[in-house]
């Protein structure tokens, strides 16, 4: 009887601790953001400078953009470019990374070129992108492709390289076919590293699209920021654009974090 009550109280205690941890995870960032907004408001009040909008002015700026239909238009334009450039990069980078990780000859052939191009900032490609593709969607998409491609191919290659060879040898000893070996061993083992590369690439792509749209586009959140600055010094809209960029970036990163936590993505070697 005592053992039963002990288990009951232990279960209640465990649930309470879990609930407190969940609340703390939500409450902590809310407190930090609230303090930051308060400091922002105080700093603007003391400076009394027209180039520093208050948080409330930024909120009104977001409402203004939403009422005019510009907010959704620019958000969709940026997401469209990121989606296409990112998916194209994933389509090419992940198979190439698997190839380089599995075949030493492919690694020796492609790795030097990748290591030469990888350190070049995507922003450095902007003049050539405008020259080749003009001002519009293609230039930002090209830059997003470049910024997304290299983290994915590098992480995918590393994921395949770090597979424990004992599992591969065991599978081959049991006569597992190459296709089944890839499906049950190689891909599940490399998948966590692939997802890490995809997460890094998505964050970089979101950074790059904003910079590219400031120079090589006539729509998107990057264009919204630079246009608000140039067409009337609307600093409230500048900061509003920055806040929206940060919020969308947080959502995208949250989606990738959720993907990392799926059981199918964790380290495993097939069922």
pLDDT one-digit tens code per residue, 59-112: 999 999 999 988 999 999 999 999 999 999 999 999 999 999 888 899 999 999
Model-wide pTM > 0.85: no
* Count of beta carbons in the 10 Å neighbourhood of residue 41: 13
Least confident of 4-13, 164-173, 239-248: 4-13
| Average model confidence (pLDDT) across the chain | 83
Output the pLDDT for position 271.
45
Q: Give me the torsion for CA of 188, 192, 193, 196, rounded to 10°.
A: 150
Asked, for residue 270, whether it belongs to a domain, the answer is: no
Q: DSSP letter for 218, please.
A: S
Query: What is the Rg, in whole angstroms, of the alpha carbon atoms belonging to the chain?
Result: 24
Has residue 8 got a pLDDT over 50?
no
Per cent of the chain over pLDDT 70 is 87
16 vs 248: which has the higher pLDDT: 248
What is the predicted pLDDT for the residue at 100? 92
Residue 191 lies in a domain: yes
Phi, psi of 231 (to 5 degrees): -100, 60
pLDDT given for residue 270 in this prediction = 46
- Considering the domain architecture, whether residues 39 and 155 belong to the same structural domain is answered as no
Q: Same domain for 135 and 95?
A: yes
Domain identity same for 103 and 157: yes
- Residue with the larger pLDDT of the pair 155 and 43: 155
At 30-65, the pLDDT tens digits run 888 888 888 888 887 887 777 788 888 889 999 999
- What are the E-state strand segments in the chain? none
60 and 41 within one domain: no
User: Within its chain, how far is the Cα of 13 from the centroid?
Assistant: 37
Rounded CA-CA distance 247/254 in Å is: 11
Give the total number of structural domains in the chain.
2
pLDDT of residue 80: 94
Q: Are residues 44 and 176 in the same domain?
A: no
What does the alpha-carbon distance between residue 76 and residue 221 come to, in Å, rounded to a whole number?
9
The phi and psi torsions of 242 (rounded to 5 degrees) equal -65, -40
């Amino acid at each position: 009887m005592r053992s039963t009550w002990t288990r009951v109280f232990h279960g209640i205690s465990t649930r309470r601790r879990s609930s407190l941890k969940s609340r703390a995870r939500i409450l902590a960032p809310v407190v930090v953001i609230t303090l930051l907004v308060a400091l922002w408001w105080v700093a603007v009040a003391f400076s009394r400078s027209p180039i520093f909008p208050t948080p409330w002015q930024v909120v009104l700026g977001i409402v203004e953009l939403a009422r005019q239909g510009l907010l959704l238009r620019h958000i969709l334009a940026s997401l469209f470019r990121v989606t296409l450039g990112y998916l194209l990069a994933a389509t090419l980078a992940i198979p190439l990374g698997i190839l380089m990780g599995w075949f030493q000859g492919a690694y020796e052939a492609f790795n030097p070129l990748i290591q030469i191009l990888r350190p070049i900032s995507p922003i450095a490609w902007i003049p050539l992108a405008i020259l080749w593709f003009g001002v519009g969607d293609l230039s930002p998409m090209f830059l997003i492709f470049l910024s997304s491609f290299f983290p994915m191919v590098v992480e995918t290659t590393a994921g395949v390289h770090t597979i424990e060879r004992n599992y591969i040898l065991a599978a081959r000893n049991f006569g597992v076919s190459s296709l089944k070996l890839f499906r049950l061993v190689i891909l599940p083992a490399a998948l966590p590293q692939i997802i890490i590369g995809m997460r890094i690439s998505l964050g970089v792509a979101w950074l790059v699209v904003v910079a590219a749209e400031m120079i090589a586009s006539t729509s998107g959140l990057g264009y919204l920021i630079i246009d608000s600055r140039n067409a009337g010094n609307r600093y409230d809209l500048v900061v509003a654009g920055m806040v929206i960029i940060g919020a969308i970036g947080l959502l995208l990163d949250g989606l990738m974090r959720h993907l990392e936590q799926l059981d199918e993505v964790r380290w495993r070697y097939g069922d």
